[in-house]
Each structure stands twice: as C-alpha cells, then as structure tokens.
Amino acid sequence: MAKGAVSKIGRLTQRADFLAAAGGRRFHTERFSAQGRLRGGDAKAPDGVPADPEGLRIGFTITKRVGHATERNRIRRRLRAALRATADDLPSPAADVVLIARRPALSAEFATLIEDLRRAVPVVTKPQTRKDTDTRAQGSSPRRGRGKPGSDKPISHGPAAGAKPTMPLLASGPGADAPPGRAPAPSPIPNACDGPTDG
C-alpha cells in the first residue's frame, strides 16, 4: 500500500455532498451501507470554485447508535485502513461515496471489510441507466406495489375504461324508483316505535 495510492481518494466534508450522495445508488452489507453518485459539473469546492471533476471522494457517517465515541472512532479508523488497502483496486470515477457504518464493523474480520469495499464502491459509482432514472422519476420501485411482477399497468378497482358502469339490481320496493347513480334510502324497520308505548 503506497502513500500515493490513497491520495487519489479525496474526502467528503460538505453536508450538501453527503445529502447528494444519499440520492444515488445504494449497496448494503452487514457492516455498512454505501451510497454514491457520479459527480457532474455542479460539485463545488468550499470556496465556491468548481471541484476537481476527477477522482473518488469518500465520506463516513457513524451515528451514536453504533456505540460510544471510542467505538465510533475505532470503526472509522478500521474503514479508513480498509480503504487504503483497497485503493488500487477501486475504480476512480468522479464520484462521491458515503459509507454509513454499522456496529458489526467494529468486530468484523479486516479481510471482510476489504472485500465489502471492493464490492460496494463499483456498484454505487456505476452510471445510472435510463431505466434507473425513469424508475426514480416515477417515485416508486417496480418491485413494489400490488400488481403482478413486471406489469406496468396500474391496478384499477373501478370499471374498465369504456365499460358500462353496472347498477345494483333492485327487485322492487321503495328504491326501485330511485334515480340512476343514487343508492336508495334505507327503509324504516317495521314495528319500530318512535316513542314510549302505552300499553
């Protein structure tokens, strides 16, 4: 592991970059989740100058739920060391990646962390296809919903397009003369009293 290999990977420091990466691709393991997006010309450095479009930038998120401060710092150091060990194997597109650590990263085998990084970074830095962007524009995943798998038709609970709406069949009685489209009023219960009875 050479010092120059790590220098090709930058750090994410701006909150806006972390939030932007959250809108990209995701990859989950037991030890961490990775979120990433390809950078365009819209990425800015802290001084407002457009950021260098080349190179991979990685940020870490380790919440208090994971553990106390020394455990969180140890997880961060372990992930950085795994990143240094895999720097030569990782793709280096102009992309931002956020690693969200989980508690098992504290006690996981170091080789497992390295393998997880080798799998996660290429997935989240892969360019999105047209299908991915169309699905995001619709606001839902094609795997969710109540339709058949692979069916693009929305489910309708009403009459099909062009079909005549059906009316409930009424045999006879006070509702038989009701105008179309309106349900008849319920009939009063026979032998019901409106008030107290004498007798």
Q: In this structure, what token pair is assigned to residue 41?
A: 């010309």
Contacts of 150 (CB under 8 A, 6+ apart): 142
Per-residue pLDDT tens digits for 139-188: 545 455 555 555 555 555 555 555 565 655 555 555 555 566 666 666 66
Closest Cα partner for 18 from 102, 99, 88, 108?
99
Q: In the CATH hierarchy, which fold is given to the domain comprising 25-131?
A: Ribosomal Protein S5; domain 2 (3.30.230)
Pairing of strands 9-11, 56-61: parallel
Query: DSSP 3-state assignment of 167?
Result: coil
CB atoms within 10 A of CB 62: 23
Q: How far is CA 182 from CA 36, 70, 104, 177, in A?
A: 55, 70, 62, 10
Alpha helices in 34-175 (DSSP H): 69-86, 110-124, 130-138
Domain ranges of the chain: 25-131
Per-residue pLDDT tens digits for 75-115: 999 999 999 999 888 888 889 999 999 999 999 999 999 99
